[in-house]
Amino acid sequence: MPELVAPKNMGRVNALIEPIMMSGHSLALGVVALAFPVWISVTWLHYGLAICTVIIGVTYLLALPPLARRTREGAQPDEASPPSEIA
């Protein structure tokens, strides 16, 4: 988020995103509460969680390396972090 939003506006962005996230959580819990005993077993809840975790992991794997390269290339020479050395 700090890449996209000026630091002074982060509170406003957070105030906008939190209700949306909470609505999504409430909706997901409502679906689970309605469907759990009849259509969904505990095993399928775990499978669904695993699938979501893999999808998020793949999304981060594809999105973050280009962003890190762009950030590193845009840094000033004195701001660039040196390679880590073990002393």
pLDDT at 82: 55
Cα–Cα distance measured from residue 68 to residue 85, given in angstroms and rounded to the nearest whole number: 20
46 and 35 together in one domain: no
- 78 sits in which H/E element: none
35 and 54 together in one domain: no
22 and 8 together in one domain: yes
5 and 36 together in one domain: yes
**CA 38 to chain CA centroid, nearest Å:** 31
50 and 16 together in one domain: no
Coil vs helix vs strand at 70: helix
Total structural domains within the chain: 2
Residue 76 pLDDT > 80:
no
Q: What is the DSSP letter of 75?
A: S
Which residue range is the domain that position 24 belongs to?
Answer: 1-40
Contact 15, 3 (CB under 8 A): no
pLDDT, tens digit (0-9, with 9 covering 90-100), for 13-44: 888 889 999 999 999 899 889 988 888 888 98
48 and 28 together in one domain: no
